[in-house]
């Protein structure tokens, strides 16, 4: 099975990056049946690719495109429960998503964007960065975080896939960056955006009760009593963290529902995917599903015919004589020559 083989190898190309200055345009493509299962065994004779509605001669590659992954975590005042769930999930990002020869960076955002871990291939460093996350403010500057992640990815080698995994709400709070500029930037860089989202109202009710020991920095926590004279863990219960509330906050949230759903906009445009979670097992399952998709795609390529510099070319892929199959690829590429 292609999915299983890809996960074992941890090296099959996923959503590869491409620029029209290169000799080939690469279009990683996901094909699923009506139940969402990956469809195996297709060849170039089964697939048709269109560039601005013009059919292209394509080839299928099994090249290795190592991944540069930025994990961007919202750390606003209503995200405490999500931060708790991420503590033990770092290994999933490095092994299932970035995988072989991949690298992972971790940033957080609330009222400002912070880099907790620059690109690394070390699972331990990623795990540590996630465990050290704390609530940092009341805003959720999603566009600012996306822009910062893109700046980081711009510095990576050209022959790498660039992926941003947002773990955040769907709508922005107080970003300085503007949506059109960030959207153009993510398309020009050919980055793929995946989005794990949640309900800030329900998340606080999905975590176990905390003690005073849980609130200490990780390095200072006492897991078990080490000796007869050593202090025991402080198991004093603390009130649940329900995040911000009140009438004013509720009214503000109603107003914010009128803002664009950034998760849908960015994942649809770049060929990524939005997944929702509530409990920790659902979060880990969502990370696994993203990893499976990234590593089980058909890698199609074609030679572009040029075009006016700065013009966006829309691409689409279809399976011949199989209208029941669902095909997903990125929306297109920018002509740069």
Q: In sequence order, what are the beta bridge partners of 167?
A: 73, 196
How many alpha carbons fall within 13 Å on the CB side of residue 172?
A: 21
Domains of the chain: 1-200+243-337 (3.40.50.410)
Ranges of H-type helices in 208-330 = 247-256, 262-270, 280-294
Phi, psi at residue 317, to the nearest 5°?
-130, 140
Q: What is the pTM of this model?
A: 0.76
Q: CA nearest 276: which of 209, 197, 215? A: 197
Residue pLDDT tens, the chain, 337 long: 443 333 333 333 333 344 444 456 778 899 999 998 989 899 999 999 999 999 999 998 766 678 999 999 999 888 888 888 887 788 888 888 888 889 999 999 999 999 999 999 999 999 999 988 988 877 889 999 999 999 999 999 987 889 999 999 999 988 999 999 999 899 888 889 999 998 765 545 455 666 666 666 666 666 666 776 677 777 777 666 655 555 445 555 555 556 789 999 999 888 899 999 888 888 999 999 999 898 888 888 888 876 677 788 899 999 999 999 999 998 888 776 5
Calculate the alpha carbon distances from 123 to 9, 50, 134 in Å.
Answer: 18, 40, 20
R_g over Cα of the chain = 21
C-alpha to C-alpha distance for 327 and 297, rounded to whole angstroms: 11
C-alpha to C-alpha distance for 225 and 133, rounded to whole angstroms: 26
């Amino acid at each position: 099975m292609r999915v299983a083989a890809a996960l074992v190898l941890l090296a099959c190309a996923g959503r590869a990056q491409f620029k029209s200055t290169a000799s080939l345009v690469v279009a990683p493509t996901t094909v699923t049946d009506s139940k969402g299962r990956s469809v195996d065994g297709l060849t170039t004779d089964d697939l048709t690719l269109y560039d601005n509605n013009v059919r292209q001669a394509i080839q299928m590659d099994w090249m290795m495109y190592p991944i540069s992954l930025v994990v961007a975590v919202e750390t606003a005042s209503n995200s405490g429960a999500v931060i708790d769930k991420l503590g033990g999930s770092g290994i999933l990002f490095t092994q299932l998503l970035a995988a072989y020869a991949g690298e992972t960076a971790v940033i957080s955002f609330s009222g400002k964007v912070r880099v907790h871990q620059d690109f690394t291939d070390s699972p331990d460093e990623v795990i540590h960065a996630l465990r050290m996350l704390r609530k940092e403010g009341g805003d959720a500057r999603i566009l600012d975080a996306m822009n910062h992640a893109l700046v980081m990815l711009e510095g990576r080698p050209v022959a790498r896939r660039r992926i941003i995994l947002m773990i955040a709400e769907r709508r922005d709070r107080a970003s300085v960056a503007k949506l059109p500029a960030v959207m153009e930037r993510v398309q020009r860089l050919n980055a793929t955006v995946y989005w794990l989202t949640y309900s800030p109202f329900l998340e606080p009710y999905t975590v176990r009760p905390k003690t005073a020991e849980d609130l200490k920095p990780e390095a200072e926590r006492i897991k078990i009593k080490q000796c007869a004279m050593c202090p025991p863990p402080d198991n004093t219960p603390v009130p649940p963290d329900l995040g911000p509330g009140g009438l004013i906050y509720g009214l503000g949230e109603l107003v914010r529902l009128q803002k664009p759903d950034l998760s849908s906009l960015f994942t649809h445009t770049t060929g990524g995917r939005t997944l929702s979670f509530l409990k920790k097992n659902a979060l880990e399952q969502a990370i696994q599903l993203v990893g499976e998709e990234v590593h089980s795609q058909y890698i199609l390529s074609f030679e572009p015919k040029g075009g006016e510099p700065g013009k966006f070319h829309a691409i689409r892929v279809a399976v011949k004589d199989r209208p029941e199959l669902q095909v997903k690829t990125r929306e297109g590429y920018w002509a740069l020559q």
